[in-house]
Structure 1
Amino acid sequence: MEIRGGVAAPSAPPAQRCPQCGTSVPVDERYVAWCAECDWNVDPGAPDPEPGRIAAIRRRLARRYGEQLAAEMERGTDLERRGRGARTVLSLALALAVHAVTAALAVTGVLLIVLGWDTRVQPVVGVVLLTVVVVLRPRPVRLPKDAPLLHRADAPGLFGLIDEVGAAIGTAGVHVVVVDPMANAAVTAYGLRGRRMLVLGLGLWETLSPQERVALLGHELGHFAHGDIRHGAITGGALRTLATWLHALAAAPARGPLDWFVNAVTFAPRWAVYGLLVLLDRLTLQASQRAEYLADASAARAGSTAAAVGLMDRLLIAETIGAELRRESVAAQMKGGRGGREARDRAEHGLWERLAARIGAVPEREYERLRRVAALRGHSVDSTHPPTHLRRRAVSVGAHAARVEYGEARGTAVAAELAPARAELARRVIRDHAR
């Protein structure tokens, strides 16, 4: 620290010279040192994509369709009015054909059991077929048993906020909110009656500003407003069935003649299933990307354009949020004995506030680096989502004011309703996460 005129002046932040272009590069030991002029060291790590050939194809298609749709949104194309077209019809037909195969196996299995007792072999084959049907049958989503659940009577303030966001974007609210500790959020239908469920990850929710929380709810409810055929019972079920078939027919390591024989017998059906899965992916991914962009537009309408853009930035540091939660858990678990129990108690108290403070302290320079990395890698939430940097660019088009305000009084009420879930999940993160 320098002394100027008897007053201590703050010293300049440490810096180094970029080895490529010579520009002065700020150095912060908490973050990667990189050059904004020439992108030196902007991406020192290696990409860690979802493994597998199917995921690689999905990433490639997601990037292609994502670029096309982002360009259309920037030109002012109304994706809502454009509709889904022939691809949706073909995908539904293919999905129904997949389910028809499952139904045919069930009927064949029952007939073999009922009519084949004279041979004694046919009933055995029938039981095998019915076992396969049990594995492949479409399953309705069920409420989790190990997560805090909030119903309307438990959290009237939160459900009122959700209802208001839904009304602002043209859809209804949800029947239940599932709270989990991770940096995520999702919606789906559960049960035979197709009731609506919102999964609210505290790791994400607690690090967002008030209006970014509104944007998050707008995005998730936007999936109900605009639809996503990949998450529907028919098409989504067919995708899961084909994935199960592909896993069951996967080639085994050839350690002997029997393995060679099994691999040879399953070769044709394995590649047939693979082809059907790739085809169904191609038919549905563009519509899924469209639904994602429309959900982002709903986020902007509900919470404001600035809030939706901020939400996109938070998605870039989702891994950092997870790492912070693991760090908190490991730090508490490393303290053993009676003092360790006290340390864990202290770690649970204020966990979400500490997480929000650390994520809130991430500088804009680090966000800019992550945005450039996202463009280089094609970062996305998963292999079926559009690249995050394209979503951010597309949602920046236009200037939407917030339709739903998240004021201090509402925030206090919602925080009180979430308090029991926050305490339970803080305990789970600290005590169980490192095990």
Structure 2
Amino acid sequence: MHTTAEESVQACPDCGTEIRVHGRFSAWCAACEWNVDPAPPEESPGRLARARRARTRRYSERLLAELTAGRALRARRDTASVLAYALALAVHAVTVAAVAAGIGLLIRGWGGFGMVPGLLLLALAWSLRPRLPRLPEDVPVLHRADAPELFALVDEVATVVGTRGADAIAVDGMVNASVGTYGIRDRRLLTLGLPLWEVLTPQQRIALLGHELGHYSNGDARHGRVVGSAYRSLRTWQYLFHPYPEPTLLAVVVNAFYAVPRWLLAGLLLLLDLLTLRASQRCEYLADRLAARAGSTEAAVGVLDRLLVSESAEVTLMRESNGSALRGPGGSRRDDERIDGLWERLAADLNSVPEHERERRRRAGIRRGHSVDSTHPPTHLRQTALLIAPPVPPAVVSDAGREGRIAAELAGARRTVARRILLDGYGA
């Protein structure tokens, strides 16, 4: 076996092919895929979760087949989406009925014990009411006056993808990014996870913005006010009918009484999920196309590559957090040095991952059907959908000056999030 400073060379135990082994990463063989996925198998999900995963993959593959055949995907309201809206309105109608019944019982029993059922129904309706999302209070939130250069970039990307920009930008410690709304006027909120933002190149950041803002263009019903609030109402119902753990005799009776509505609610959630799943998958593919239009095909594929190694970012942040806790307070100057250098250390750690390790994770991701979450198509299918289309050059290009100004605008948020990760613990 030949050895260098960082790598050693050995024969694959299965096929004998010469493989290079890096001390920090798993040894594997590109020829026969020996040890390509050495991690222990994921815990077996429940039957419904397995069925949902299979259904997600099936829809994703069908949509990819349509793209491969040259058929254009368009955001549209199909029969399933209309039925999802109808079901969501029916859920909200139950809340309205509870209000009406509560008021009626309150009036009929006014001044006596008969008011109690009416008050209970009104309290129930209040808990089920559609809630307007608010700006997060536990993470830094930037407005246009706080970060004019960042908002200008977001506006430029928004114009390219055919929508308008964000009204506020939240910055948190997740390896992710998302969009949403807040307030009665449906103002737009863009959430940037610094652990993802900081490890992307400037063009990949533009592609990321294109993908997230593209969701506004595509009209994903699952995140809309009507369907999204119906999801929340049904989950509130589920919480109210959740069985008592370690029940007493009386609680056993209550749990048995709750069984039927609990299964009914599970069925309604499953149906709503089924009705919106295909449209949600389509929206992700369309958002990826818009990401490529904004930042280039290469950048959009690069963002997905970064997501494949997102676990490495999480491990690094966990290691930094645990190391900070073990070292204990080191004085304000020492803490400042750890905090100020966190994002540079994270970027350097991910950039040091060699290409053969990235390729192993791509292949392992294909085997496991890696996806950002259960609503996203598998990552390798999203990459394939981008690569089968003609390469797209960037419509928005950043430069060092703009990147420097944006970094200065994010300096306070970077420090706040880094401090929370190191001193309060990652994920706190």
The two structures share one fold, judged by TM-score above 0.5: yes
| TM-score, length basis structure 1 | 0.92
2:102 is the counterpart of 1:115: no
Deviations 1:223-267 (A, max 9, x none): 001111000011111112222222332334464432332232222
Where do residues 5-404 of structure 1 align in structure 2 (5 Å cutoff)? 13-48=7-42, 55-80=49-74, 83-117=76-110, 120=113, 122-253=114-245, 255-336=247-328, 339=330, 342-397=333-388, 398-404=390-396
Secondary structure at the counterpart of residue 80 of structure 1: coil
CA contact (8 A) 2:17 2:29 kept: yes
Question: What is the alpha-carbon distance in structure 2 between the residues aligned to residue 429 and residue 392 of structure 1?
Answer: 31
Amino acid across the alignment from 2:400? E
Amino acid across the alignment from 1:79? L
CA contact (8 A) 2:73 2:282 kept: yes
Deviations 1:171-203 (A, max 9, x none): 111111111122110000111100001001110
CA contact (8 A) 1:249 1:266 kept: yes
1:6 matched residue in structure 2: none
Structure 2 gaps, min length 5: none
Aligned length: 425
CA contact (8 A) 1:321 1:359 kept: yes
Task: Flag the 1:49–1:178 CA change in 2: closer, same or farther, 3 A.
Answer: farther
Question: What is the alpha-carbon distance in structure 2 between the residues aligned to residue 255 and residue 168 of structure 1?
Answer: 57
Shift of 1:112: 1.5
Question: What is the alpha-carbon distance in structure 2 between the residues aligned to residue 49 and residue 195 of structure 1?
Answer: 39
Deviations 1:89-143 (A, max 9, x none): 11100110011011111211222222124761x3222222222222221111100
Question: What is the alpha-carbon distance in structure 2 between the residues aligned to residue 275 and residue 29 of structure 1?
Answer: 49
Question: What is the alpha-carbon distance in structure 1 between the residues aligned to residue 6 and residue 280 of structure 2?
Answer: 48
Question: What is the alpha-carbon distance in structure 2 between the residues aligned to residue 108 and residue 415 of structure 1?
Answer: 55
Relative to structure 2, which stretch is displaced further, 179-188 or 250-259?
250-259
Question: What is the alpha-carbon distance in structure 1 between the residues aligned to residue 292 and residue 40 of structure 2?
Answer: 32
Question: What is the alpha-carbon distance in structure 2 between the residues aligned to residue 142 and residue 22 of structure 1?
Answer: 59
Relative to structure 2, which stretch is displaced further, 349-358 or 210-219?
349-358
Question: What is the alpha-carbon distance in structure 2 between the residues aligned to residue 52 and residue 123 of structure 1?
Answer: 43
Secondary structure at the counterpart of residue 20 of structure 1: coil
Secondary structure at the counterpart of residue 222 of structure 2: helix
Shift of 1:316: 1.1
Question: What is the alpha-carbon distance in structure 2 between the residues aligned to residue 55 and residue 185 of structure 1?
Answer: 24
CA contact (8 A) 1:185 1:201 kept: yes
Relative to structure 2, which stretch is displaced further, 259-268 or 44-53?
44-53
Q: What's the Cα RMSD here?
A: 2.1
Question: What is the alpha-carbon distance in structure 2 between the residues aligned to residue 357 and residue 415 of structure 1?
Answer: 17
| TM-score, length basis structure 2 | 0.94
CA contact (8 A) 2:7 2:23 kept: no
Identity of aligned residues (%): 51
Question: What is the alpha-carbon distance in structure 2 between the residues aligned to residue 233 and residue 105 of structure 1?
Answer: 20
Task: Flag the 1:408–1:206 CA change in 2: closer, same or farther, 3 A.
Answer: same
Shift of 1:336: 3.1
Deviations 1:126-179 (A, max 9, x none): 222222222221111100112111111111111111111011111111111111
Task: Flag the 1:53–1:229 CA change in 2: closer, same or farther, 3 A.
Answer: farther
Deviations 1:363-393 (A, max 9, x none): 1212211111221111111111111111111
Shift of 1:37: 1.6
Question: What is the alpha-carbon distance in structure 2 between the residues aligned to residue 360 and residue 138 of structure 1?
Answer: 44
Question: What is the alpha-carbon distance in structure 2 between the residues aligned to residue 12 and residue 156 of structure 1?
Answer: 44
Question: What is the alpha-carbon distance in structure 1 between the residues aligned to residue 382 and residue 129 of structure 2?
Answer: 35
Question: What is the alpha-carbon distance in structure 2 between the residues aligned to residue 128 and residue 304 of structure 1?
Answer: 56
CA contact (8 A) 1:176 1:198 kept: yes
Question: What is the alpha-carbon distance in structure 1 between the residues aligned to residue 51 and residue 92 of structure 2?
Answer: 24
